[in-house]
Structures are given as C-alpha cells and as structure tokens.
C-alpha cells in the first residue's frame, strides 16, 4: 500500500498533522497543504482552499513534482459557535467558504488526477452533520453539506474508479478543543461535560481519526459513499440508568 502520493489539507492542525504522520509511516509521499506555511518544523505548502485558483496551483505543483495524486484528504475546516439568531451572515459565508467550498475546490482540481490512478477522496466531516448539538448551527450546517457532497461525489465517481468517503468524529482531543475549553470560565467542568457527552467516556484522539482515514484511503477498502462515525456512541447508544 506504500508509495502513494497523498495530499492533505488542513495539515498544520491536530487532525491534519496526525493524518500526515500516519501516511508517512506507511512510506507514502505526503504533501501537506494549509494556510500556515510551516508547522512543527515541517514545511507545509501554503494554500487557500477558499480560492479555486490557489487550489489549482497547489494540485499542479504536486503533479509536476510527484507525477500524480492517489489520495486527497479534505481536512481543512473552521468552526463557529452560536445558534441561528446569534450567527451573522459573515460567519455563514466564512465557515461555508472553508468547510464546503474548500472541499469542492480541492476536489475539482484533484479529481482528474485521481481518476487517472483510481484513487480515493476522504473528507473530514463531523457528528454534527447527523446529530444536533447546541450552539453549532453554522458549523453543523456546513458539515451536513459535506456529508451530502461526499455521497454525491461517490455516486458520480464510481464510473471513474474513484472512491469517496468521509469520517465523522465526535469531540476530538485536539489543540483547537483545548483552546476552546481553556477560554471558558471553568475549563475543568467544561472538559468533564464534553467527556461525559460521549458514552464511551472520553474524547476521540486525533490518531484515531487519522487511522480511520488511512483505512478509507486504502486501495483494498471496498467502501464508497460511507460516513464512518467516531463519536464514542453519541449517535447510536442510549444509556438509561
């Protein structure tokens, strides 16, 4: 399974860096893309996923240097807190520009090359695409769009031999979540609330998300159009005491 060319957006973040690490450990050539040029001492190629031209340039550079693309991991994403009344039109545009249009822009640029190699696309979605959580109106709507787009792309790409799937984590133990928790009035109580919200009693690790993405990207995986839930039981378990 080694020797593939893997492109990862949002590569400087907690989940993104774990994805890069997992694929690299398999012997794959991994190209990280992010709005940040450098992360943790490793070079990350700069890209703005909201800009179609930036995505085209990034993909062209990968193909020019490495000869093609086997796997695209659409992992770039941002969040917003608030309900529909509290959220502003600017927030809706900003979140959808990154989370939804970013997936479309990168996929549009990369798919011709993925088709040439019968490759795979894995989108980072979220449990909020299928389970309503308070104060996540904009974020949840954007992830719901990613889930729908994943299934639509999977249907379109079957004829081209490209598999398209997504992974939906619950609350991830990531630097971003740590920053959110740290900004609350009672970080310890906030973290405990997040932990207890997931029936398995802990947050999902970035490595667990990355491992699932690696599985979905494997050429031996007979899966397309799937949404793999890593939510600790939020969506499927009801505990009655």
Catalytic residues: 139
DSSP 82: B
CA dist 103 and 166 (Å) reads 11
CA dist 186 and 59 (Å) reads 44
Q: 4: Cβ–Cβ under 8 A, 6 or more apart, which residues?
A: 23, 28, 29, 70, 71
CA dist 15 and 27 (Å) reads 19
Q: Where are the alpha helices (DSSP H) in 77-186?
A: 89-99, 101-116, 137-157, 175-182
Q: What are phi and psi of 226, to 5 degrees?
A: -95, 155
Residue 230, beta-bridge partner list? 169
Q: 219: Cβ–Cβ under 8 A, 6 or more apart, which residues?
A: 1, 118, 120
Kindly list the strands in the beta sheet with 45-46, ordered across the sheet, starting from the edge strand earlier in the chain: 45-46, 29-34, 5-9, 71-74, 120-124, 163-169, 227-230
Length of the chain: 241
Candidates 78, 76, 77, 70; CA nearest to 23 is: 70
């Amino acid at each position: 399974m080694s020797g593939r060319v893997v492109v990862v957006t949002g590569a400087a973040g907690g989940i993104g860096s774990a994805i890069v690490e997992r694929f690299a450990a398999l012997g794959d050539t991994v190209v990280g893309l992010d709005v940040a040029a450098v992360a943790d001492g490793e070079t990350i190629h700069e890209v703005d996923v909201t800009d179609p031209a930036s995505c085209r340039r990034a993909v062209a550079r990968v193909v020019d240097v490495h000869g093609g693309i086997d796997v695209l991991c659409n992992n770039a994403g941002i969040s917003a807190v608030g309900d529909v009344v509290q959220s502003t039109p600017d927030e809706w545009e900003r979140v959808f520009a990154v989370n939804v249009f970013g997936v479309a822009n990168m996929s549009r640029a990369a798919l011709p090359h993925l088709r040439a190699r019968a490759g795979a696309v894995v989108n980072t979605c979220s449990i909020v695409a299928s389970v309503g959580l308070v104060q996540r109106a904009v974020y949840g709507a954007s992830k719901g769009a990613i889930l729908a787009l994943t299934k639509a792309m999977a249907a379109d790409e079957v004829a081209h031999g490209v598999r398209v799937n997504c992974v939906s984590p619950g609350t991830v133990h990531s630097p971003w979540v740590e920053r959110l928790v740290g900004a609350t009035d009672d970080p310890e109580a906030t973290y405990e609330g997040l932990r207890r919200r997931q029936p398995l009693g802990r947050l999902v690790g970035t490595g667990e998300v990355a491992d699932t993405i690696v599985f979905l990207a494997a050429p031996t995986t007979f899966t397309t159009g799937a949404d793999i839930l890593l939510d600790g039981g939020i969506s499927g378990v009801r505990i009655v005491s």
